[in-house]
């Protein structure tokens, strides 16, 4: 592999990693902070992509981003409402919303399962035009991804230290404590999931616009991929403050994409992505568990061999 191909690989991984890290940051809020495994992530990602594309095609490139985020927040609200007010199990609420979103996404895309944005003005095409005379023209996606990531990380660092942010963290950290304090867990869960899902939708919107197309399956398996990135990021960065952990999430997303891109380079077929992400999640979750079980397993083995 020459240096140029390596650089090109790194760039693709960085570009995709940055855009997808927004979903990882969303899970950082819902999964790590609020302790809710939000299985509506896949559908919400596609929703963001579909709404973003539909609005951009109508000729509103900037509005498309906010419309996508608003749509994501609405989807998060429904998921949260189901689990806090209507007595639906948290995991089930996510699955139900995810299923429902499939129909909504096709409806948003005008009944088709594919939208093309080849001639649509998006933030990416606008940025490319603005940078056309500079050497950064080829890095548009990187720059926009970076801006979005910095904004979201900055928001999270600010937000999670406010009183509301602390309340959301406490809701996920000690439900008993929240119950007997003056925090309303219904309110914190709703706010947390709305914000998290708006980031997921933003992530989908940006990915679709950078690829210039949306397909109904764009978000499939996103929750596992994001979870894999989240666990990698957590391992890489270890314990620390919110900023350090959030940066870890972005790093995790980029590392995941990098490994995947390299694997593709070694002739791994593209359809293996989902399997690889599933295996990473299993390893990351069961690794520490098996490690804690190891002394017992070893004792059993020595016992079988006739030892003590």
Partner 1 sequence: MLKLNHISKTFNPGTVNEKVAVKDLSLHLKKGDFATIIGSNGAGKSTLFNAICGDFLTDSGSVVLDGVDITFQPQHVRAKSIGRLYQDPMRGSAPGMSIEENLALAAGSGGWLSHISKADKERFREQLALLDIGLENRMSQPVGLLSGGQRQALTLLMSTMDPPKLLLLDEHTAALDPATAEKVLNMTKRIVEENHLTCLMITHNMHSALELGNRTLMMDSGNIVLDISGKEREGLTVDGLLEKFNAGAGKELDNDRILLSKKK
Total binding residues toward partner 1, as defined by CB under 8 A: 19
Burial bucket for residue 186 (CB in 10 Å: 0-12, 13-18, 19+): middle
Query: Cβ closer to partner 1: 59 or 241?
Result: 241
Instruction: Say what angle helices 242-265 and 3-27 make with each other, to 10 degrees.
Output: 140
* Coil vs helix vs strand at 215: strand
Give the x/- contact pattern for partner 1 in 160-189, rule: CB under 8 A.
-xxxx-xx-xx--xx-xx-xxxxxxx----
Residues in the chain: 308
Query: Cβ closer to partner 1: 70 or 170?
Result: 170
Q: Positive or negative, the Cα torsion across 28, 34, 39, 45?
A: negative
**Do 32 and 168 form a contact (C-beta atoms < 8 A)?**
no
Query: Cβ closer to partner 1: 43 or 185?
Result: 185
For every residue of 249-281, DSSP letters joined together read: HHHHHHHHHHHHHHHHHTT--GGGHHHHHHHHH
Query: Cβ closer to partner 1: 179 or 300?
Result: 179
Q: How far is the CB of 302 from partner 1 (least distance, A)?
A: 34
Instruction: Say what angle helices 61-85 and 90-108 make with each other, to 10 degrees.
Output: 150
Q: Does 154 bind partner 1 (CB under 8 A)?
A: no
Give the x/- contact pattern for partner 1 in 104-143, rule: CB under 8 A.
----------------------------------------
Q: How far is the CB of 162 from partner 1 (least distance, A)?
A: 5
Q: How far is the CB of 16 from partner 1 (least distance, A)?
A: 31
Residue 283's CB is within 10 A of a number of other CB atoms, namely: 12
Q: How far is the CB of 279 from partner 1 (least distance, A)?
A: 28
Query: Cβ closer to partner 1: 104 or 196?
Result: 196
> In Å, how far are 48, 148, 193, 215 from 117, measured between CA atoms?
15, 21, 29, 11
Q: How far is the CB of 184 from partner 1 (least distance, A)?
A: 4
Query: Cβ closer to partner 1: 170 or 216?
Result: 170
Q: How far is the CB of 14 from partner 1 (least distance, A)?
A: 31
> In Å, how far are 9, 55, 101, 223, 260 from 266, measured between CA atoms?
12, 39, 36, 25, 10
Query: Cβ closer to partner 1: 183 or 214?
Result: 183
Q: How far is the CB of 251 from partner 1 (least distance, A)?
A: 21
Query: Cβ closer to partner 1: 61 or 248?
Result: 248
Contacts of 233 (CB under 8 A, 6+ apart): 24, 245, 248, 249, 250, 251, 252, 253, 255
Binding site for partner 1 (CB under 8 A): 161-164, 166-167, 169-170, 173-174, 176-177, 179-185
């Amino acid at each position: 592999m020459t240096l140029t191909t390596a650089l090109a690989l790194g760039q693709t991984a960085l570009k995709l990693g940055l855009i997808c890290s927004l979903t990882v940051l969303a899970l950082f809020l819902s999964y790590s902070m609020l302790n809710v495994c939000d299985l509506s992530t896949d559908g919400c990602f596609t929703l963001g992509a579909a709404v973003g594309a539909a609005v951009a095609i109508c000729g509103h490139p900037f509005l498309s981003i906010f419309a996508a985020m608003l749509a994501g927040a609405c989807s998060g609200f429904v998921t949260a409402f189901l689990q806090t007010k209507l007595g639906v199990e948290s995991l089930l609420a996510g699955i139900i919303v995810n299923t429902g979103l499939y129909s909504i996404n096709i409806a948003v895309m005008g009944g088709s399962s594919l939208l093309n944005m080849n001639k649509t003005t998006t933030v990416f095409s606008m940025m490319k035009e603005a940078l056309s005379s500079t050497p950064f023209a080829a890095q548009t996606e990187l720059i926009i991804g970076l801006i979005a990531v910095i904004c979201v990380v900055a928001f999270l660092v600010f937000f999670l230290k406010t009183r509301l942010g602390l309340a959301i963290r406490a809701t996920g950290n000690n439900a008993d404590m929240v119950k007997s304090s003056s925090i309303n867990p219904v309110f914190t869960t709703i706010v947390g999931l709305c914000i998290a899902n708006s980031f997921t939708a933003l992530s989908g919107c940006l990915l679709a616009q950078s690829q210039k197309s949306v397909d109904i399956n764009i978000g499939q398996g996103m929750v596992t991929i994001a979870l894999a990135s989240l666990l990698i990021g957590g391992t890489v960065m270890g314990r620390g403050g919110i900023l350090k952990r959030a940066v870890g999430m972005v790093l995790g997303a980029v590392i995941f994409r990098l490994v995947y891109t390299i694997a593709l380079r070694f002739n791994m077929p593209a359809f293996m992505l989902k399997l690889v992400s599933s295996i990473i999640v299993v390893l990351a979750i069961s690794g520490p568990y098996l490690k804690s079980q190891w002394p017992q397993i070893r004792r059993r083995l020595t016992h079988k061999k006739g030892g003590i």
